[in-house]
């Protein structure tokens, strides 16, 4: 099923015309209404009337998270506050939160793009959708809530609850689809197993999971444990919230809602566009946002464009699943490594979702990487010999995959420090 | 159907249109709203070939029409109803309509012209009743219908309407817009409408663009534009400042 065939299957030619029109009017609006952008254009000498192709966007400097913080709270709004009907903030783990606003139309478009993603993930008006995102300043819950209601599905706004309560609702209310982070879906899956419930007795069919990077192995684990089809979706508060891109049931990349978002992928160091298909940082320009338009926002998320057509019929370009964050990209001895690569290896040796942390330090001028892996029921063993074997095995696989000699240490369960439930992936102690 | 990209027009080195891009799909009614002097009429005149843009491109069914003569553009299927109607007041209603068929009129095609005229009379019976009357004696609303009828005589695929509601009483405006929708359906037209009366125009439109000092500053579905408070304040006559105080 395709929610908006006319748009989602638009020809490249028509799409590029629409994108150009929208880019031009967005630039005129931000130049007129947002002092930050007017100053930026004037400073680097860009004429807002000089945009005649989508390529011209490359003239504009990037907008960074720091720019957003410096304009806390309302500095980048393009409309007066009285036209704003909603405020959300990003869950910034460091420093000031980022405040974003929505006009009535922004909410309408948000609803529409999420409805597309839910439909692509299998949801129809007959589904019972359990939303297990926190309702509050975070955008995730509201975006999916609106989209699911728009489709006509029955929405259960559970929010974040203790997993046993989630499972009871899953069972009793005959939920057919769950919307959450992948790690939360896994927690629910494990709770179902702990409670001795047969997953086949549930009505659950689909999972729309996002808001954090997750591996294919993790998808497999979630799908097997919950007996569902799990799709990935992508979005971020700074540009909208959920709704930027999402997988269809072919699960071969996330279709970008290109009529509303212009996506580029750049090399985070040279800041130039990467070759089609190469991994780089996602940069997003909003094409229709009224209250909080943003030009060339550096998301810090790493992925690549997927070349070719998707058999589903949607013509929107796809990005691969998010591979990690630029802040997490490790350059050690000249080699670029993403924590997701290490995660995949740990997953494969441990056979379950690993909790780990990467420590980088320098000894006698030589860079060193250490992986701290928390023990779990899957690897817990009193026998030192078995632990040694496991560590050796992981070290060998890391060396094979990354070409870097890595130290591996087992640590106690839940001993790694967590911030809002997330382990800080990389700690760089090299100066 | 119509795809305009980066259209630049200037008079005396002063830009009236700056990199205007817009499109109209087959069967759509699209409204261009904006205040006086924003460049609305200039845009229609550029499409009709009446003025020569400095740059950009206008594709009509994938064919570049920039630089073509107004006559050949009419022949390709684009008719414009000019602002202020510009009917020939000293000619009869029927003579005015016949002039609209100028681009293809010949003895051989007399029947075709007649058929076309009958179609128009059927939908706009007021013109039929007054066909022998001098056009100058018609009321404002009737003159507007005549101007539209005359444009339709050229058998257009794309109809360009410049301020059809100008100078008309509110009840007549309502009627004119109703006729535009009916004509569009009957003649399978695509319509690009330029209006200051933004609300009535958007209500019959699929999409709209907002033009300000020669630049497009907003684009969206007609419904979205009607909701946009910036547009409400500027073009829909809503005084927000008296409504809310912050």
List of domains in chain B: 2-241 (3.40.50.300)
Which of B20-24, B102-106, B130-134, B178-182 is predicted least confidently?
A: B102-106
**Do A1 and A124 lie in a common domain?**
yes
pLDDT at A123: 98
In CATH, what number is assigned to the domain containing residue A424?
3.30.300.30
Which of A58-62, A275-279, A339-343 is predicted least confidently?
A: A339-343
Q: By percentage, how much of chain B surpasses pLDDT 90?
A: 67
pLDDT at A354: 86
**Do A197 and A314 lie in a common domain?**
yes
User: Which pairs count as long-range contacts for B229-235, CB under 8 Å and 24+ apart, including other chains?
Assistant: B229/A79, B229/A82, B229/A83, B229/A103, B229/A104, B230/A79, B230/A83, B230/A290, B231/B33, B231/B198, B234/B35, B234/B210, B235/B33, B235/B34, B235/B35, B235/B196, B235/B198, B235/B210
Tell me the pLDDT band of A309, cut-offs 50, 70 and 90: very high
Q: Which tokens in the block code for residue A204?
A: 């659950």
Q: How far apart, in whole angstroms, are the C-alpha atoms of residue A184 and residue A180?
A: 6
Q: Does the structure show a pLDDT above 90 at B107?
A: no
Nearest to A147 by CA among A98, A110, A186: A110
Q: Does the structure show a pLDDT above 80 at B105?
A: no
Q: Does the structure show a pLDDT above 80 at A376?
A: no
**Do A377 and A286 lie in a common domain?**
no
Q: Tell me the average pLDDT across A343-365.
A: 85
Tell me the pLDDT band of A422, cut-offs 50, 70 and 90: confident
Nearest to B3 among A17, A29, A51 (CB): A17
Residues of chain B contacting residue A104, judged by C-beta atoms under 8 Å apart: 227, 229
**Do A275 and A345 lie in a common domain?**
no
Could you tell me if B6 lies within 8 Å of chain A, comparing CB atoms? yes
Q: Does the structure show a pLDDT above 70 at A381?
A: no
pLDDT at B241: 54
DSSP summary character for residue B50: S
pLDDT at B246: 44
| Closest CA in chain A for residue B225 | A105
pLDDT at B238: 58
Of A326, A342, A372, the position where a domain reaches its end is: A326
**Do A157 and A81 lie in a common domain?**
yes
Residues of chain B contacting residue A25, judged by C-beta atoms under 8 Å apart: 209-210, 215-219
Residues of chain B contacting residue A18, judged by C-beta atoms under 8 Å apart: 23
Cis peptide before A73 (omega within 30 of 0): yes
In CATH, what number is assigned to the domain containing residue A196?
3.40.50.12780
Mean model confidence pLDDT for chain A: 92
Tell me the pLDDT band of A92, cut-offs 50, 70 and 90: low
Nearest to B5 by CA among A198, A52, A202: A52
Residue with tokens 């909003």: A286
pLDDT at A334: 77
Q: Tell me the average pLDDT across A238-263.
A: 97
Q: How far apart, in whole angstroms, are the C-alpha atoms of residue A301 and residue B205?
A: 40
Nearest to A169 by CA among A322, A161, A362, A430: A161
**Do A83 and A154 lie in a common domain?**
yes
Q: Tell me the average pLDDT across A390-399.
A: 90
Mean model confidence pLDDT for chain B: 90
**Do A170 and A269 lie in a common domain?**
yes
| Closest CA in chain B for residue A260 | B220
Distances (CA, A) of B53 to B11, B19, B49: 10, 11, 9
Helix (H) or strand (E) holding A23: helix A12-33
Q: Tell me the average pLDDT across A233-261.
A: 97
pLDDT at B66: 94
Q: Could you tell me if A409 and A394 are in contact, meaning their C-beta atoms sit under 8 angstroms apart?
A: no
Chains A and B form CB pairs within 8 A to the count of 66
Domain span holding position A292: 1-326
Secondary structure of residue A428 in the 3-state scheme: strand
pLDDT at A258: 98
Residues of chain B contacting residue A106, judged by C-beta atoms under 8 Å apart: none
Of A302, A326, A350, the position where a domain reaches its end is: A326
- If one counts the domains in chain A, the total is 2
Q: Tell me the average pLDDT across A385-413.
A: 88
Nearest to A51 among B19, B218, B224 (CB): B19
Tell me the pLDDT band of B234, cut-offs 50, 70 and 90: confident
**Do A374 and A314 lie in a common domain?**
no
Q: Which tokens in the block code for residue A353?
A: 């979702």
Q: By percentage, how much of chain B surpasses pLDDT 70?
A: 96
Nearest to B215 among A49, A52, A103 (CB): A49
Could you tell me if A83 lies within 8 Å of chain B, comparing CB atoms? yes
Q: Tell me the average pLDDT across A364-388.
A: 81
Chain A nearest C-alpha distance from B19 (Å):
7
Tens of pLDDT along A151-208? Answer: 999 999 999 999 999 999 999 999 999 999 999 999 999 999 999 999 999 999 999 9
pLDDT at B245: 45
Q: Does the structure show a pLDDT above 50 at A355?
A: yes
**Spatial CB neighbours of A325, under 8 Å, sequence gap ≥ 6:** A213, A300, A301, A302, A425
Nearest to B60 by CA among B126, B175, B158, B201: B158
**Do A228 and A368 lie in a common domain?**
no
Q: Does the structure show a pLDDT above 90 at A130?
A: yes
**Do A260 and A385 lie in a common domain?**
no
**Do A417 and A292 lie in a common domain?**
no
Q: Could you tell me if B231 and B237 are in contact, meaning their C-beta atoms sit under 8 angstroms apart?
A: no
Which of A69-73, A140-144, A239-243 is predicted least confidently?
A: A69-73
Which residues in chain B (23-52) have CB-CB distances under 8 A to chain A? Answer: 23
Which of A7-21, A114-128, A282-296, A382-396 is predicted least confidently?
A: A382-396
Q: Tell me the average pLDDT across A406-416.
A: 89
Nearest to A52 among B6, B15, B219 (CB): B6
**Do A81 and A147 lie in a common domain?**
yes
Of A300, A326, A352, the position where a domain reaches its end is: A326
pLDDT at A378: 67
Could you tell me if A342 lies within 8 Å of chain B, comparing CB atoms? no
Could you tell me if A25 lies within 8 Å of chain B, comparing CB atoms? yes
Q: Is the CB of A24 less than 8 angstroms away from the CB of B215?
A: yes
Tell me the pLDDT band of A76, cut-offs 50, 70 and 90: very high
Nearest to B222 by CA among B233, B206, B209: B206
Secondary structure of residue A205 in the 3-state scheme: coil
């Amino acid at each position: 099923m395709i929610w908006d065939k006319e748009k989602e299957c638009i020809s490249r030619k028509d799409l590029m015309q629409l994108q150009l029109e929208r880019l031009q009017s967005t630039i005129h609006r931000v130049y007129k209404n947002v002092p930050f952008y007017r100053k930026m254009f004037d400073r680097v000498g860009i004429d807002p009337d000089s945009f005649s192709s989508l390529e011209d966007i490359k003239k504009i400097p990037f907008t960074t998270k720091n720019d957003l913080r410096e304009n806390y709270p309302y500095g980048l709004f393009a409309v007066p506050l009285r036209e704003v009907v909603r405020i959300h903030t990003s869950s910034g783990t460091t420093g000031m939160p980022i405040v974003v606003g929505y006009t009535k139309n922004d909410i309408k478009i948000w609803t529409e793009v999420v409805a597309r993603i839910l439909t692509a993930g299998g949801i129809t008006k007959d589904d019972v959708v359990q939303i297990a995102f926190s309702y509050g300043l975070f955008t995730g819950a509201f975006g999916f809530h609106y989209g699911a209601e728009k489709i006509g599905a029955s929405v259960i706004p559970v929010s974040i609850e203790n997993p046993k309560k989630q499972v009871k609702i899953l069972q009793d209310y005959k939920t057919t689809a769950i919307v959450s982070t992948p790690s939360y879906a896994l927690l629910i899956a494990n709770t179902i197993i702990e409670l001795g419930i047969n997953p086949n007795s549930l009505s659950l069919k689909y999972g729309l999971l996002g808001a954090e990077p997750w591996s294919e192995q993790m998808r497999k684990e979630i799908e097997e444990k919950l007996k569902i089809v799990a799709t990935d979706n992508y979005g971020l508060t700074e540009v909208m919230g959920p709704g930027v891109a999402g997988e269809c049931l072919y699960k071969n990349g996330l279709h970008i809602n290109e009529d509303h978002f212009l996506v580029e992928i750049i090399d985070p160091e040279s800041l130039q566009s990467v070759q089609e298909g190469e991994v780089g940082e996602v940069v997003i320009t909003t094409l229709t946002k009224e209250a909080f338009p943003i030009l060339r926002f550096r998301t810090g998320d790493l992925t690549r464009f997927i070349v070719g057509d998707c058999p589903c019929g949607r013509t929107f370009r796809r990005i691969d699943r998010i591979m990690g964050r630029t802040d997490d990209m490790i350059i050690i001895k000249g080699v670029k490594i993403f924590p997701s690569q290490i995660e995949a290896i740990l997953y494969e040796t441990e056979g379950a979702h690993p909790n780990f942390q990467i420590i980088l330090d320098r000894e006698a001028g030589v860079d060193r990487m250490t992986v701290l892996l928390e023990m779990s029921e899957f690897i817990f063993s009193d026998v030192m010999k078995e632990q040694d074997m496991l560590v050796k095995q992981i070290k060998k696989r890391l060396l094979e995959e990354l070409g870097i000699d890595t130290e591996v240490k087992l640590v106690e369960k839940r001993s790694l420090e967590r911030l809002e439930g997330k382990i800080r992936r990389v700690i760089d102690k090299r100066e | 159907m119509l795809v305009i990209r980066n259209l630049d027009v200037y008079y005396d080195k002063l830009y009236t249109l700056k990199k205007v891009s817009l499109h109209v799909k087959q069967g759509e009614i699209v409204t261009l709203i904006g205040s006086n002097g924003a460049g609305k009429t200039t845009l229609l005149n550029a499409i009709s070939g009446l003025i020569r843009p400095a740059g950009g491109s206008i594709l009509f069914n994938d064919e570049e029409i920039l630089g073509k003569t107004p006559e050949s553009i009419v022949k390709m299927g684009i008719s414009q109803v000019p602002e202020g109607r510009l009917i020939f007041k000293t000619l009869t209603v029927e003579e005015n309509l016949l002039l609209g068929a100028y681009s293809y009129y010949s003895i051989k095609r007399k029947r075709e012209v007649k058929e076309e005229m009958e179609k128009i009379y059927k939908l706009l019976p007021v013109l039929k009743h007054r066909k022998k009357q001098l056009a100058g004696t018609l009321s404002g609303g009737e003159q507007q219908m005549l101007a539209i009828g005359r444009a339709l005589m050229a058998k257009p695929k794309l109809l360009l309407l410049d301020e059809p509601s100008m100078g008309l009483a509110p009840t007549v405006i309502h009627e004119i817009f109703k006729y535009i929708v009916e004509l569009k359906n009957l003649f399978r037209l695509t319509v690009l409408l330029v209006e200051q009366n933004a609300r009535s125009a958007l209500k019959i439109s699929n999409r709209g663009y907002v033009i300000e000092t020669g630049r497009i500053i907003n684009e969206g579905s007609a419904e979205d534009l009607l909701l946009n408070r910036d547009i409400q304040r500027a073009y829909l006559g809503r005084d927000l400042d008296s409504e809310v105080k912050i």
